Every structure is written in structure tokens, then in C-alpha cells.
Chain A
Amino acid sequence: MRFIIQVVITAIVCFMFQKLFPWWTMAIGAFLVGFVFSNTGFKSFLAGFLAIGLLWLGMALFIDNVTQSILTEKIGQLFPLNLFVLTSLVGGLVGGFASMTGSLLKP
């Protein structure tokens, strides 16, 4: 339960950070939430990974849907990996490591 709450809160905090600031500020968000929840390193990584991965995936799916995939197909041709997977992965990794770093700060 605590884990799911961390995922949800990380996603909400990072959503707000990203609405206002550049993309990398979500690392600070995930770091802070990771610090507050202070799960074990692995769990915290997973929470951050899922939170940002899903946040980015959800946002990408939403844009893809309202814009009728107008860019997804074109940009997709430029990358060897599926664009949704790649987007979630890149966001997830940064979120995961930031969240883990936060949890490891607590003595």
C-alpha cells in the first residue's frame, strides 16, 4: 500500500514539476518523494520508475489520441524502438534512479 502511495504521489508531484519546469526537474520531485517515503533502495527505484514511466506513457498516449497520431508515426521511424516504450523507459530510468537516491539519503 505504502508502495502504491509512493508511486501515486511521485507521479502527482512530478506532473506538477513538469507542468512548470524543464523535464529534468522531475528527478528532483522523485528524489524528494523517495526521501520522504524512505523505502528500501530497490523498492524506491521501482516506485520512481513506475511513477514516471507511467506518467510519461499516459501523457504520450493522451497526446497521441487527441492528435490522431499525427507525429507518432513520423518520429517513430527515426528510432529503432517503439516510441511509447522508449518514452516510458527514458522517463522511468531517470525517475527510478532519482527516487532511489532520495531513499538512500536517510540514515
Chain B
Amino acid sequence: MKGIKFVVALTITIALTWALNRGWDFGDPIPPLGKFLDPFHGFWANAEPPVTYDYALRIPGLKDKVSVVYDSLLIPHLFANNDDDLYRVMGYVTAQHRLWQMEFQTHAAAGRISEIIGNKALDFDRNQRRLGMVYGAQNSTLAHSKDSVINRMNQQYTEGVNAYIQSLKYQDYPLEYKLLDYEPELWNDLKMGLLLKNMSKTLNFGENDFEMTNALNLFGKATLDILFPDWEAVGDPIVDNPGGWKFPPIQLDSVPLALPDQLVNITPTQKAVKGVGSNNWAVSGIKTATGSPILSNDPHLSLSMPSIWFAAHMQSPHVNVMGVTFTGAPVIILGFNDSISWGATNAQRDLVDWYKIEFKDATRNEYLSDGNWLPTKKVVEQFIVKGKDPFYDTVVYTHHGPIVYDASFHGDSEKNAYAFRWIAHDESLELKTFYLLNRAKSHRDYMAALDYFSGPAQNFAFASTAGDIAIRIQGKYPVRRKGEGKFVLDGTKTSNEWQAYIPPAHNIMIKNPARGFVSSANQYPVDPTYPYYVHSNNYEAYRNRRINRQLSAMDEITPVDMMKFQNDNYNIQAEESLPYLLKLLDSAALTAEGRKVFELLKSWDFVNSASSVAATYYEVWYNTLYRNIWDEMTNSTASLSLPSDYTTIHLMKTDTLLSFYDVQSTPEKEDLKTLVRQAYAASMDRINTWKIENEKEPQWAWFKNTSVGHLLRIPPFGYHVENGGNGSAINATTGSHGPSWRLVASMEKTGVKAWGVYPGGQSGNQGSRFYNNLLTPWAEGRYFRLKFPHTEKETAPYRYYTTTFNSIQQ
């Protein structure tokens, strides 16, 4: 009897322990409860006490001692005696604070999220592989390995990251690993390539060629040119240098532009998001209070926890640089050193083409090119899917690039095949640009560094303690004939392929312009005398004008002025559209509430401040109107993009007879006036519903409700912030995107002074008070002085704790 009892009890104990030692998935995943709740090793072990002590570590491969001093923001200041040690410890330190994010981002780039979260990520993963993200990263890795300096740096960094990973036991794992029950894998050079491709995808990927092709076929060329002009007649270009382009441009044989005559039937995997953009500017000493240049930069990206950026100060006898980096890159991406500072904004240039492919037959083994049948290359991609069998997908490659969409993936047939040509597929050495910028001492060094940068194309602003300011729009751009690259291209003719690249010396750039400042905000880049065809899908029309308008008028500029300016919420779009919209309303016919709002809008100062109620009414009204005007696009079965806000407002003012004003779903024939009034009434309803649901006044910050969510969308790990802003204001904070890093650097000869802030915190650990400590200051427009000591001793006044790294003695 006792024997049976024993067996039963033993079975229960073993079964219970087993069940609590593994994760389960009943719709929602459940972590392994025993492992996870164990206060000795589980999630409890990730909670950090507020007090920290100095400690020493031994890591393999170090040549000499390295000190890492943390300041009160948990920014590490690395003091190394040689470059190898510097990069090795940088790898270790970054992994200490952001390991899960480093790996997750590269897993995402490589299409490996299904391994972690299962089947629901499979479509995303397949898309990543089909876009050739891994193919591009492999080419980056190849380029890295050919450059001895970059190769050595990457090796040191990788070994540093891996020294950290190998030191970990389960209790040390970042929380996300414990929640999802998986383990970190070793870092490698491919992951650095993937990291860069991820950025290229964020900033430079698009399916606009499909959308433009569809618009061309549905609306005709004449309408298309009105809705999507190559250049909107507005604003200053980034470089306005008429007649200053004194080089003989590369000419291509002229080929008549063949317009595609078929719709592209592809369900887009993702629509371009509004809000990805950026600002930077540098003002010359003649406009500043100190007489030294000031550089400002704020790149706008999707807001997430942990933040995309990690701040660090890296010093060795050969380099002394501070700024922010992507978690997983050994170099500072945006920042300053003792002599120069630099900042980047997206150049928007079209570096993506889609070629229509003609296959010989359904096997897709051969395709046509200039009358010859060329063999395709088929790559079988394996996807490990959590809780399921592996999934296999065959991707067909042509010499243009991979076929992304076909009958098995978001396309309607094998016949409708488009090959994807992307600059990010090519070998390139962006890391070398940053390696050299980190060490640059002059404008000449900055120019030499940028020569290595091929994409995603960026507007690099520059300021130096020597008093120079400059901007250069850097990327590797194919030379294009007018109109080329806007639509899908015929892949059977090699004359449509990228024939030549614009030489770096022909790129758009200027140094020390007479107006005393350089600036960029994703607008059209250059004056009409520039001899190459420049094309993009979305050049910015508002922020750039606000920046240039104010900078032209400013004098005796101080860093504080620049900080205030980065947080400027003035909305030129509202200034240019609201008075006109109000005129179209018949105020006499309004309800009592409608008249109240009318008065509120009439007296609004066009500032999207956090507390503005008028801003909310304007935004909802305009956006409703915008959607109703372009209902032809959103209701179409073909994938289409919508005209820009600038073009929309321009058309409203100049063309009251546009056929698009008619709402297709109603029998009546609407005109602009009717639409404006309907949208006004609808916006009032929408805001009233919001008021009832939220029980407060529709102040802009509350209504906009900017979300800074965790990368895995785990609700308690994300936040909402209350701030002003708008995609068209300098403080370009929307509901999901915003300034991901703000830097103001005063390039004084007696020592560079810099201030910065970003939404998030240095630690990726939810159990650390440095996880979100910068978020509220960021939302409130506050900055922190970035401590830039030259010796370890100088850190004493703000030292939080020190980690000393020593080599393992043989």
C-alpha cells in the first residue's frame, strides 16, 4: 500500500516539476512558472537595488586594464589604453545593458522571430528573407572582412559581447529570455550586417513603385503628375547653390521611358508610415553668442522600449568620441569628438527598384534578359517555428535581386513576378564611415569618411571647433534618366538597369554657405541646376521651412535656444490650411457647439502644444477630410499611396473642381465645401465620443497619447507620454514616432559642450531605474549635459560606479 502511495506521490512530484519547468501556450504563452517565479534565479533576480558598487571583472583577450566609469545617467565612459581593448569592452558593456535587444533586432532582420514567438511571426519572417535581408547582410560581412581595420574592430567587439554571453547563468538572463523561455546565442559579424540592413529597411525600403504604377494605370499620367509631382514647388532645398555644380555629369544613353501598362496585384506587407523623418542643422559662429558653431540633430523613428539608441563615451589614445550608437555597433553613430560633431537625417532618395520579370515557364528556372534566357538561383529558406515543424520557403533570385512576391506570398500569380533591386543588397562599408567620423579632426576627414557610406542615404550635417559647418547628402545613387525609378521597370531589358553610380564628388554638398547655417529636414535636396535626376516618394514640406525661417532670423544663438527650437511645436501645415478651411465652413449654419469650436480654432496660434485643445480639433478635422478626399485610393483593391499633405492642401486651394472630392460610396455628388463641412461634423462626433470614453478635455497630448511600447508589445514594459508635437512640427512627435535622440553640441575651441536626451534609458532591464529614467525629461523637452571628460580622474564629481576590466592572466 505504502509502495503505491510512494509511486503516486513520486509521479505527481516529477510531473509537477516538469510542467513548471517548461513554457506552455494556451493561446497566450505562459512562461515556465517554477523557473520564472523562483526568487533565486527567476524574474525576481532581475530586480536591481538602487545602490551599486564598484566591481572588477576579468575577461579573456584583453591586453591591458580598461576602466568603465558610469555617470549619473548610466552612460559608460570607457577609458582604454589601446583600440582593441576599447572595442572589446564596448561589446561587453553594450551586451551587459542591452543584450536581449541586440539579439532580438538582428533576429528580426534575419527573419527569425518565429523561433521565439511561433507561427504568428511567420509572414513577417518570410518577408524579411524574401527581401534579401540576410543576403544583404552577408555582403556587408564580406565587405567588413576585406577591410583589415573594420574586421579587427568587429572581431574585438564580437569577442567582447561573447565574453559577456558566456559568463551568463539563467539567473542573469535579461527578462525577455525568461518570459519567452529561450537562450541567447553567440554574437557574430553577420549580426552587425543585419543591424545595418534593419536600419536600411526602416529608412529606405518602399513599395512605392507598385503604388505609383497602379496610380498611373487607374488615373492616367496627367492626374498622376498633379497628385504626385516630382517636386512640390515649396520650401528651400537642403543645398541651394545655383550654378555651383561645376563637374561634367555622367550621361546615360537615352532610352525612351516605357511606362508600365498593368496593375500590380500585390497585397502590401507594409504601408509607409508617416513620421519617419528627422531634423539637423548647424549654425556658424557668426550667428552664435560664443562665436563657435552649434550643431543640432534629432532623428525621428518609431519610439520603443528599450530605446534604439545607447549612449556611450569611448576613449583610447587614438580616439575620444561620445554620442549614441545602435546596440550592436562598435562605433558611435551620431555624436561628437574633440574637434567635430555630426548628425544625420534621412535623405529619402529612391534606392529601391522593382523589375518585372518574364519567366520561361512555371518552373521559374529561366528568365528573359535582352533576348537571352538566364538561369535563376533558388534558395531554400528554413524557418524554425516555436511549437511547430520547420517551414520551408523557396526564394527565386535573379541578377536584379530576389523575387519577393509570388503566388505563395502576397502575390496573385507566378506570372506577376517582380525582382527587388536595393542598394542595401550590395557590399558596403558603412561602419568604416562611422569609424572614421569618430576620429575625424577636420572637414576634410569628415569628407573622406563619408565616401564609404552607400545607404540608407543620409543628410550628414557637420560642425567643427575650427569654425566650419557643412552638409552633405551621402549615399550611393544610381544615375537615372528623368522619371526612371518612379514606376516598376521592365526587367527584360538591361538598359533599364543601374548603369552607373553618381561619383561621391558629384553628390550634393555645401560648406560654410553665406546664410550662416546648414539644415535638413527630409525635404527636396537641391536647386534645379543640379545635373542629376533626383527622385523620392515623400519629400517633407513643412518642418524645413519652419527651421529655415527661424534660423535665418535668429542671432546670438545659444545652446539653450537650440534646445527650445528642437521642441518647437509650431504647425505650418495648420497655418496654411486652417484659415482656408474655416472660410469654407458656413459659420451661420453651425450648431452651438460647432460655433464654439469655430471660435476656438479661429483664435488658435497654430502651436501643437501639449495642452492645446484647438490642435486636437484641427488634427481630427483635417485628417478626416484628408481621408474622405482620397477615398478613391483607400477603397481601391489595388495598392495605392495617398498624396502628401502639402499637395492635398495646395489642391484644395487651387482646384475646387477636382473629381476626387466626390465620395464614391454615396449617390450624391460632393464638392469640397460639402466635404469640409461633413468632416467638421464628423470630427466633432469623434472628439465627443473620445471625451465620454476618457472623461477629460481633449488636450492634444492626451488625445495624441504618444505610445512608447516595448519591442515585444508587452504592455507593462511600455509607456505613454504626454507631450506636444506633430509630424509637420520640428518636435515631430506623433502617436508612435518622434525624435529618438536630441543632441545640441556647441563646438567651442576651449572644449566641446554637448547636451542630449532620448526617450528611454540606458538599461534594457525593466528591473532597473535606468530603464525609463530619460523618458519624462525627453517628453518635457529637458536635456542633460553630456559629460565629456578627458581623463578618468575628471569623472569624480559625477561618478556613479566603476567597472574595471582586467585580462585573464595566463
- A5 close to B (CB within 8 Å): no
- In the complex, what residues of A have CB within 8 A of residue B252's CB? none
How many Å from the CB of A107 to the closest CB on chain B? 7
How many Å from the CB of B99 to the closest CB on chain A? 17
Taking CB atoms and an 8 Å cut-off, the chain B residues in 142-175 that contact chain A are 170, 175
- A24 close to B (CB within 8 Å): yes
Of the A-B pairs whose beta carbons lie under 8 Å apart in the complex, a sample of 20, sorted by A's number, is A18-B38, A22-B170, A23-B41, A24-B20, A41-B9, A59-B40, A63-B44, A63-B47, A70-B48, A71-B44, A71-B766, A73-B716, A75-B43, A77-B716, A78-B179, A86-B37, A87-B37, A91-B38, A101-B9, A107-B2
> Provided the pairs A22-B41, A87-B39, A91-B38 are in contact, do residues A31 and B6 lie with their beta carbons within 8 angstroms?
no
Q: A60-B39, A71-B44, A101-B12 are in contact. List 16 more A-B contacts (CB 8 A).
A: A18-B40, A23-B41, A23-B42, A27-B17, A56-B37, A59-B44, A70-B767, A75-B43, A78-B714, A87-B39, A90-B20, A91-B34, A94-B34, A101-B13, A105-B6, A107-B2
- In the complex, what residues of B have CB within 8 A of residue A68's CB? 50
Interface size on B, residues (CB 8 A): 39
How many Å from the CB of A87 to the closest CB on chain B? 5
Q: Are A67 and B40 within 8 A (Cβ)? A: no
Taking CB atoms and an 8 Å cut-off, the chain A residues in 87-107 that contact chain B are 87, 90-91, 93-94, 97-98, 100-101, 104-105, 107
Q: Are B9 and A100 within 8 A (Cβ)? A: yes
Q: Mark A32-44, 1 if CB is under 8 A from B, else 0.
A: 0000000001000
Taking CB atoms and an 8 Å cut-off, the chain B residues in 742-793 that contact chain A are 766-769
- B256 close to A (CB within 8 Å): no
Most A Cβ at <10 Å: residue of B34, B38, B45: B38
Q: Are B6 and A104 within 8 A (Cβ)? A: yes
Taking CB atoms and an 8 Å cut-off, the chain B residues in 16-32 that contact chain A are 16-17, 20-21
CA–CA, A91 to B21, complex, Å?
Answer: 12
- B228 close to A (CB within 8 Å): no
Q: Which of B5, B10, B17, B46 contacts A24 (CB 8 A)?
A: B17
Most A Cβ at <10 Å: residue of B6, B45, B49, B175: B6
Q: Are A90 and B40 within 8 A (Cβ)? A: no
How many Å from the CB of B17 to the closest CB on chain A? 5
Q: Are A97 and B47 within 8 A (Cβ)? A: no
Q: Mark A4-31, 1 if CB is under 8 A from B, else 0.
A: 0000000000000011001110010001
Q: Which of A22, A64, A91, A104 contacts B2 (CB 8 A)?
A: A104
- In the complex, what residues of B have CB within 8 A of residue A24's CB? 17, 20-21, 34
How many Å from the CB of B9 to the closest CB on chain A? 4
CA–CA, A67 to B177, complex, Å?
Answer: 21
Q: Are A74 and B21 within 8 A (Cβ)? A: no
The interface residues of chain A, by DSSP majority, are classed as helix
Residues on A lying within 8 angstroms of B by beta carbon are 18-19, 22-24, 27, 31, 41, 56, 59-60, 63-64, 66-68, 70-75, 77-78, 83, 86-87, 90-91, 93-94, 97-98, 100-101, 104-105, 107
- In the complex, what residues of B have CB within 8 A of residue A73's CB? 716
In the complex, the chain A residue whose C-beta lies closest to that of B4 is A104
How many Å from the CB of B221 to the closest CB on chain A? 55
- B317 close to A (CB within 8 Å): no
CA–CA, A39 to B12, complex, Å?
Answer: 19
In the complex, the chain A residue whose C-beta lies closest to that of B45 is A63
- In the complex, what residues of A have CB within 8 A of residue B667's CB? none
Taking CB atoms and an 8 Å cut-off, the chain B residues in 249-274 that contact chain A are none
Shortest beta-carbon contacts, A-B, top 7: A23-B38, A59-B39, A67-B47, A104-B6, A74-B716, A101-B9, A97-B13
- In the complex, what residues of A have CB within 8 A of residue B47's CB? 63-64, 67, 70-72
Q: Are A70 and B769 within 8 A (Cβ)? A: yes
Q: Are A27 and B39 within 8 A (Cβ)? A: no
Q: Are B44 and A27 within 8 A (Cβ)? A: no
> Provided the pairs A22-B170, A71-B43 are in contact, do residues A78 and B716 lie with their beta carbons within 8 angstroms?
yes
CA–CA, A101 to B39, complex, Å?
Answer: 24
- B646 close to A (CB within 8 Å): no
- In the complex, what residues of A have CB within 8 A of residue B769's CB? 70
- In the complex, what residues of B have CB within 8 A of residue A97's CB? 9, 12-13, 16
- B598 close to A (CB within 8 Å): no
Q: Are A23 and B34 within 8 A (Cβ)? A: yes
CA–CA, A3 to B35, complex, Å?
Answer: 28
- B227 close to A (CB within 8 Å): no
- B715 close to A (CB within 8 Å): yes
- In the complex, what residues of A have CB within 8 A of residue B40's CB? 18-19, 23, 59
CA–CA, A83 to B31, complex, Å?
Answer: 14
How many Å from the CB of B23 to the closest CB on chain A? 13
Q: Are B17 and A90 within 8 A (Cβ)? A: no
- In the complex, what residues of B have CB within 8 A of residue A67's CB? 47-50, 767
CA–CA, A107 to B4, complex, Å?
Answer: 12
- In the complex, what residues of B have CB within 8 A of residue A18's CB? 38, 40-41
- In the complex, what residues of B have CB within 8 A of residue A91's CB? 34, 37-38
